[in-house]
């Protein structure tokens, strides 16, 4: 089986842009991956001789009635369960949000291999502007720009390294 990378994070951080960078074919997985549910986006990618599967999640909106993130419970939890490595995307320009903290808390609890990625970091002074993300307690912050294709190769190398 190819390793499965799941993209999680609040809406608008650039998950789908990153998904498009990481994959060439969309929704291509059917028979070989019968265990994967189909209400999210799947794609396949390849770097060097290493092939992988990517899951995009739609993000999630706060559920006002219950005060929890309903879509997170569905999409993020399912994607995380299916993943070998979770790629947690935050917005390097917008900075930390309460939703980021909630997702981080969940990921720390689950304890799956996780990479923290600050997107939209093109032209940023990383050391200064991204330091706040260390608060999430998930270790190193990897600066990337999905839109500009920066840091993508290094991200894939890191994601596949432990597998």
Residue list, annotated binding site:
9-16, 56-60, 119-122
Q: Which two tokens stand for residue 97?
A: 């949000």
* Residue 115 and residue 104 in contact, taking contact as beta carbons nearer than 8 Å: no
User: At its nearest, how many Å lie between ligand GDP and the CB of residue 49?
Assistant: 27
Task: Tell me if 16 contacts Mg ion by CB under 5 A.
Answer: yes
Considering the complex, state which of residue 24 and residue 108 has its C-beta at the smaller distance from Mg ion.
24
Q: Which residue is nearest to Mg ion (CB)?
A: 16
Q: Which two tokens stand for residue 7?
A: 């993209």
Return the closest-CA partner of residue 57 out of 19, 25, 99.
Answer: 19
Q: Which two tokens stand for residue 136?
A: 């999430």
User: At its nearest, how many Å lie between ligand GDP and the CB of residue 159?
Assistant: 17
Give me the 14-53 binding string for ligand GDP, x by CB under 6 A, dash otherwise. Answer: xxxx------------------------------------
Chain residues 84-103 in contact with ligand GDP, contact rule CB under 6 A? none
The three-point CA angle 3-57-17 to 5° equals 90
DSSP 32: G
Say which residue the tokens 């991204």 belong to.
Answer: 130
Considering the complex, state which of residue 32 and residue 63 has its C-beta at the smaller distance from ligand GDP.
63
User: At its nearest, how many Å lie between ligand GDP and the CB of residue 34?
Assistant: 26
């Amino acid at each position: 089986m190819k390793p499965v990378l799941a993209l999680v994070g609040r809406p608008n951080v650039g998950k789908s842009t990153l998904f498009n960078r990481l994959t060439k074919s969309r929704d291509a997985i059917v028979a070989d991956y019968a265990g994967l549910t189909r209400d999210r986006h799947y794609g396949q990618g390849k770097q060097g001789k290493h092939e992988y599967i990517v899951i995009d999640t739609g993000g999630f909106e706060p559920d006002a009635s219950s005060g929890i993130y309903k879509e997170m419970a569905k999409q993020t939890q399912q994607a995380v369960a299916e993943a070998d490595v979770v790629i947690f995307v935050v917005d390097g320009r917008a900075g930390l949000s309460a939703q980021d903290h909630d997702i981080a808390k969940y990921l720390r609890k689950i304890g799956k291999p996780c990479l923290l990625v600050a997107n939209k970091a093109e032209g940023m002074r990383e050391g200064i502007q991204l330091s706040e993300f260390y608060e999430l307690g998930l270790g190193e912050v990897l600066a990337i720009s999905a839109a500009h294709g920066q840091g993508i190769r290094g991200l894939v190398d890191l994601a596949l390294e432990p597998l």
